[in-house]
Amino acid sequence: MRVAFAHYSQANDISGVTIWVLGLARRLAKDGICVAIHFVIAPGEPSLEECGEPPLFEELRQQGIEVFSAPRRDCLKGDVQETLAFLNHWQPTVFLPQCKPAHYAAAAQAGSRGLPWAITLHSDDPDYWATVGAFGGPRYGSSLVCVSRHIRDELILRQIKRPASVIPCGVTIPDHMTTFRKDPFRVVFSGRIWEHQKRASLVIQTLIRACGSSDSIHATLIGDGYARAACERQVAEAGLTGAITFSGPLPSSQVQARLLGAQAILLMSDFEGLPIALLEAMAAGVVPVVRRIPSGIPELVHHERTGLLVSEDPAEAALALLRLADDPDLWQRCSTAARDLVAQHYSADSSYALWRQLLEGLDQPFNPVATNPYPIDSRWIDSLRRIAPSFHQEYNQPRARTTTLRQALRTTIAQTKHRIKHLLSRRP
């Protein structure tokens, strides 16, 4: 079996998908499976000619993983052809593309010629549904993998009548777990500091309310993103720079250390899949305070049993944090149950076993003599016909000097949209 991944390369990336890709690739290589990762280097990242390869690439090679990389091209078709060139060169028997439309389009082109591959739906995200709509049909030979039962059920509701596997993300269960501390009671947020999906404005408003109401509550935001500057300004204006800090992106080992020193994790997203940051926190006994959304969250957080569920109202979320800080018994009960739930159902070992079973099933019908799809023709790419215009969106980037203004406008528009939605929902 030869398993190939395609993903993007970006400095200091702590996204859940990246953590999952690297974790699965390393486990497969450790078990003697031939593994390769094709990275597309994101625009704005230092070029290989300027700074050489990222240290991650050499680290992966030392772990037995073959690494290939290329800068992102100026059009979708160019990136599809680059990915197909990688497939023709390395000739995997199973392909796992991630995140980028070009990777899925290349997989569809190869899949229609016999290469087994899978679409992994990591979240309840419009981009993933567009990907399934474009490339999830039987003509392209894709298998569907969902990280939560909710996403699998959503496939059925959308009348996508294809079998789908449910393989939750798995995390390592630390030997130790955090303990209750009243002063300070530490709250963490870990992830991209964006308004899109992560709702950074709700996170920071919640933390300002909680820390402003109690001197014993301290908060740290781990990660980075275009909304970070606006969040830092709000914290400074509230006079809470000593209580609310921003660590920036951290290596996974340091994230784990921060979690083991925290008592609560806050998440106010519009949609998720099965958040790895949340799983890692719960495995360490950190109690989640999370927004009540359908995207996998109810599978992890049972109100007042493994954490607290709240609405999108920052005042309600802040009160939940204050309640936890003032109720050691409730905190301890949720902390123990959260860790037990993850250990029993979401461990890295159990997830890996399911992935091995799936990959072996995909690899089994691949017969190099009878169905060898190589070489895959990249001159006429069938999978690019009639795809959604949004798949080309990342190639239409604004000039660098307009990026800051564009991000500010994006945040303002998102906040306004959510305020209008909230007001309409309150009307009788």
With respect to residue 64, please indicate whether it lies within any of the assigned structural domains.
Answer: yes
Judge if 208 and 122 occupy the same domain: no
**CATH number (domain holding residue 290):** 3.40.50.2000
- Calculate mean pLDDT across residues 332-342: 97
With respect to residue 178, please indicate whether it lies within any of the assigned structural domains.
Answer: no
pLDDT at 399: 45
At 200-245, the pLDDT tens digits run 999 999 999 999 999 999 999 999 988 999 999 999 999 999 999 9
Judge if 222 and 129 occupy the same domain: no
Judge if 56 and 148 occupy the same domain: yes
> Can you say whether the dihedral through the CA atoms of 24, 27, 30, 31 is positive or negative?
negative
With respect to residue 238, please indicate whether it lies within any of the assigned structural domains.
Answer: yes
At 128-180, the pLDDT tens digits run 999 999 998 888 989 999 999 999 999 988 888 788 999 999 999 999 999 99
Judge if 143 and 193 occupy the same domain: no
Residue 117 bridge partners (DSSP): 95, 142
| Cβ neighbour number for residue 337 with a 10 Å cutoff | 18
With respect to residue 60, please indicate whether it lies within any of the assigned structural domains.
Answer: yes
At 35-74, the pLDDT tens digits run 999 999 877 666 555 667 788 899 999 999 999 999 889 8
Instruction: Please give the biggest Cα pair distance in the chain.
Output: 69
pLDDT at 398: 52
Say if residue 95's pLDDT is above 80.
yes
With respect to residue 179, please indicate whether it lies within any of the assigned structural domains.
Answer: no
pLDDT at 212: 95
Q: What's the length of the chain?
A: 428
Judge if 266 and 208 occupy the same domain: yes
With respect to residue 36, please indicate whether it lies within any of the assigned structural domains.
Answer: yes
With respect to residue 152, please indicate whether it lies within any of the assigned structural domains.
Answer: yes
Judge if 16 and 154 occupy the same domain: yes
Judge if 161 and 67 occupy the same domain: yes
β 34-41/65-71 pair status: parallel
Examine the fold and report which residue of 345, 379, 406 is the final residue of a domain before the chain moves on.
Answer: 345
pLDDT at 294: 84
**Residues spanned by the domain of 31:** 2-170+348-392
What is the number of domains present in the chain? 3
Judge if 11 and 139 occupy the same domain: yes
Please give the Cα distance from 254 to 145 (Å, whole number): 30
pLDDT at 68: 95
Judge if 136 and 149 occupy the same domain: yes
Q: 271: pLDDT confidence band, cut at 50, 70 and 90?
A: confident
Judge if 148 and 233 occupy the same domain: no
Judge if 291 and 388 occupy the same domain: no
pTM for the whole structure:
0.83
With respect to residue 420, please indicate whether it lies within any of the assigned structural domains.
Answer: yes
Look over the chain and give the mean of its residue pLDDT values, rounded to a whole number: 88
Judge if 311 and 207 occupy the same domain: yes
At 385-406, the pLDDT tens digits run 778 788 888 887 654 444 445 5
Examine the fold and report which residue of 284, 316, 345 is the final residue of a domain before the chain moves on.
Answer: 345
Measured in degrees and rounded to the nearest 5, phi and psi for residue 64 equal 90, 15
- Calculate mean pLDDT across residues 292-318: 93
Say if residue 186's pLDDT is above 60.
yes
